[in-house]
Amino acid sequence: MKFSDETLMAYADDELDPPTRAAVEAAMAADPELARRVARHKELRNQLRSAFDKVLDEPVPDRLIATARTAPADRRADNVIPLRRKSAPRWSWPQLGSIAASLVVGAILGQLLLRASITGPIIARDGQLLASGALAHALSNQLASDQAQQAPVRLGVSFRSKSGEYCRTFLLRAPSALAGVACRGREEWRVQVLAQSGQAAADGGQYRPAGSALPRLVLQAVDEQIAGEPLDASGEAAARSRDWRH
Amino acid sequence: MPAPIEELREQLVGLLPRLRRFARAIARNRHDADDLVQIAIERALARSGQLRPDSRLSSWMFGIVRNAWIDEARSRGQRDRIFAPAELGENIGDPAHETQSDMLAVQEAMARLPEEQRITVGLVLVEGVSYKEAAEIMNVPIGTVTSRLARAREALQALLADTTGALR
């Protein structure tokens, strides 16, 4: 088989799919000239890499560090900060999130429904996800401003959505480590967003500010749905006394 | 708890060594490269609201460095030619001259590549970015990445064979 130089290059860069890769390797074993061409590609790569790697050893000029620490930033990047309140629970609010919600929810949901017993925290009914058991209880009763350190469900912020419902963010402790947003329906809490939280969803190398307990997906959902400011402690207590109905 | 923007700033500080390396691969000397990084950091912070959290910060930054370079390069073509030889002078009497010389040879060769080929080499061969990611950063199809890379490699191999051949 004959291979183009681009294919050999892609082989040297480890960019080929396994079958093509195997075919190149077989051809290289049979043809020393082919092997030499691949070796030249690899050598060039190493040469460039080692030449420029020296830059990594240089001290970074102070002016660059100063620029990174002090140059003016887009104010929108701080949009989410007002969500943190004085009495806020220990959630952190990284920047705006945007992942395809359905993908994440779909991936987790399969797992969850397999595991869920009838008393699980989330049930599916009529094509909707509803809070159940301990989660439903916490959503109705637990105040974010007053919750036990080891409570199985941790509430984050409560807010009025643009459609006028009360919604709350929650975090289920390990092992499920799921976080989401639930909104109050007539009788039930509808789970609108559900995502794996914290370590469980750590995606190596991806940009994710350290220490964010709530997945971006959840933060983004809050950001999209919230009307005005999140409830403060007294607003939360007042909403609870009306059973989260308006 | 630091605000998100403060976290971003610290992540940028952590990324500076790589940004400098990438900039050195595409600009022609240290001074221009660091200027380029500075411009890119300023732009990134000014547009931090546009950072999509599902994208890699490094990729986002490489894209900003690349765009800044292209913008700057348009207005500074002349200056490059004046400053390029300065790097050679920097190394006279430098005890690290031996270890610098291969970097110089590589930089000289890189400087002869067309802009987009040099950026592609900087991304894929220097920074180890995948073809797919490089295509996204440069906003071109993958086929363009591979063809630029193939042409750049051919040119670099020829140029470096000359230099190393002459030195040995």
pLDDT digits (tens, 9 = 90+) for B59-74: 999 999 999 998 877 6
In 3D space, the residue among B40, B69, B118, B20 whose CA is nearest the CA of residue A54 turns out to be: B20
The better pLDDT of the pair A23, B97 is held by A23
The pLDDT of residue A180 is above 80: yes
Q: Which of A5, A36, A45, A48 to substitute to test the interface with B, most B CBs within 10 Å?
A: A48
Q: A122 by DSSP, 3-state: which?
A: strand
A170 strand-pairing partners: A155, A180
- Per-residue confidence (pLDDT) for residue B100, from 0 to 100: 63
Residue A26 lies in a domain: yes
Residue A68 lies in a domain: no
- Per-residue confidence (pLDDT) for residue A85, from 0 to 100: 31
The pLDDT of residue B9 is above 70: yes
Which tens digits make up the pLDDT trace of A121-144?
888 887 788 898 889 989 999 988
- Per-residue confidence (pLDDT) for residue A149, from 0 to 100: 72
- Which of A141-160 are b and which e, b meaning 16 or more Cβ less than 10 Å from the residue's Cβ? ebbbbeeeeeebbbbbbbbb
Distance CA A76, CA A62 (A): 27
Length of chain B: 168
Q: Percent of chain A scored above 90 by pLDDT?
A: 37
The pLDDT of residue A3 is above 90: no
Instruction: Nearest chain B residue to A74 by CA: give it.
Output: B46
Contact yes or no for B54/B67 (Cβ under 8 A): no
Which tens digits make up the pLDDT trace of A19-71?
999 999 999 999 999 999 999 999 999 999 999 999 999 999 999 999 999 99
- Per-residue confidence (pLDDT) for residue A118, from 0 to 100: 44
| Domain ranges, residue A160 | 79-241
Distances in Å between the alpha carbon of A100 and those of A208, A235, B135? 16, 32, 22
Q: Which of A12-21, A119-128, A186-195, B78-87 has the highest mean pLDDT?
A: A12-21
Residue A88 lies in a domain: yes
Residue A71 lies in a domain: no
Nearest-Cα distance to chain B for A17, in Å, is 13
For residue B139 the two structure tokens come to 């906003």
The pLDDT of residue B156 is above 70: yes
Name the pLDDT band for A100 (thresholds 50, 70, 90): very low
The better pLDDT of the pair A222, A211 is held by A222
Residue found by looking up tokens 């059973």 in the block: A243
Which tens digits make up the pLDDT trace of A181-192?
999 988 899 998
Residues of chain A contacting B53 with CB distance shorter than 8 Å: 94-98, 207-208, 216
- Per-residue confidence (pLDDT) for residue A84, from 0 to 100: 31
Between positions 29 and 68 of B, the ones with CB within 8 A of A are 34, 37-38, 41-42, 45-57, 60
Question: Do A149 and A215 have their domain in common?
Answer: yes
Residue found by looking up tokens 């020829």 in the block: B158
- Are residues B146 and A6, on separate chains, in Cβ contact within 8 Å? yes
Question: Do A83 and A40 have their domain in common?
Answer: no
- Per-residue confidence (pLDDT) for residue B43, from 0 to 100: 94
Mode of pairing for the β-strands spanning A122-125 and A128-131: antiparallel
- Per-residue confidence (pLDDT) for residue A91, from 0 to 100: 36
Alpha helices in A58-160 (DSSP H): 62-70, 101-115, 133-141
For residue A79 the two structure tokens come to 């949009």
Question: Do A84 and A48 have their domain in common?
Answer: no
The better pLDDT of the pair A12, A148 is held by A12
The domain total for chain A is 2
Q: Percent of chain B scored above 70 by pLDDT?
A: 77
Question: Do A39 and A95 have their domain in common?
Answer: no
Contact yes or no for A12/A24 (Cβ under 8 A): no
The pLDDT of residue A114 is above 80: no
Does ipTM top 0.95?
no
The pLDDT of residue B149 is above 90: yes
What value does the mean pLDDT take over residues B154-163? 85
Length of chain A: 246
Distance CA B45, CA B52 (A): 13
Question: Do A130 and A22 have their domain in common?
Answer: no
The better pLDDT of the pair A200, B8 is held by B8
The pLDDT of residue B94 is above 70: no
Q: Which of A40-44, A90-94, A213-217, B27-31 has the highest mean pLDDT?
A: A40-44
Q: What is the mean pLDDT of chain A?
A: 77
Number of H helices, E strands in chain A: 8, 6
Q: How far is CA A130 from the centre of its chain?
A: 22
In 3D space, the residue among B89, B53, B143, B26 whose CA is nearest the CA of residue A209 turns out to be: B53
In 3D space, the residue among B87, B144, B141, B80 whose CA is nearest the CA of residue B117 turns out to be: B144
- Are residues B131 and A15, on separate chains, in Cβ contact within 8 Å? yes
- Are residues B55 and A61, on separate chains, in Cβ contact within 8 Å? no
Distance CA B41, CA A20 (A): 40
* N- to C-terminal Cα separation, chain B: 57
CATH code at B4-167? 1.20.140.160
Distance CA A198, CA A158 (A): 20
Instruction: Nearest chain B residue to A220 by CA: give it.
Output: B53
What value does the mean pLDDT take over residues B110-123? 94
Residue A246 lies in a domain: no
Residue A185 lies in a domain: yes
Distances in Å between the alpha carbon of A44 and those of A41, B21, B24, B117? 5, 17, 17, 15
Q: Which of A60, A95, A98 sits opposite B4 (nearest CB)?
A: A95
For residue A136 the two structure tokens come to 């439903």
- Are residues B9 and A69, on separate chains, in Cβ contact within 8 Å? yes
Q: Which of B34, B56, B106 sits opposite A61 (nearest CB)?
A: B34
- Which of A205-228 are b and which e, b meaning 16 or more Cβ less than 10 Å from the residue's Cβ? eebbbeebbbbbbbbbbbbebbee
- Which of A89-105 are b and which e, b meaning 16 or more Cβ less than 10 Å from the residue's Cβ? bebbbbbbbbeebeebb
Distance CA A157, CA A84 (A): 8
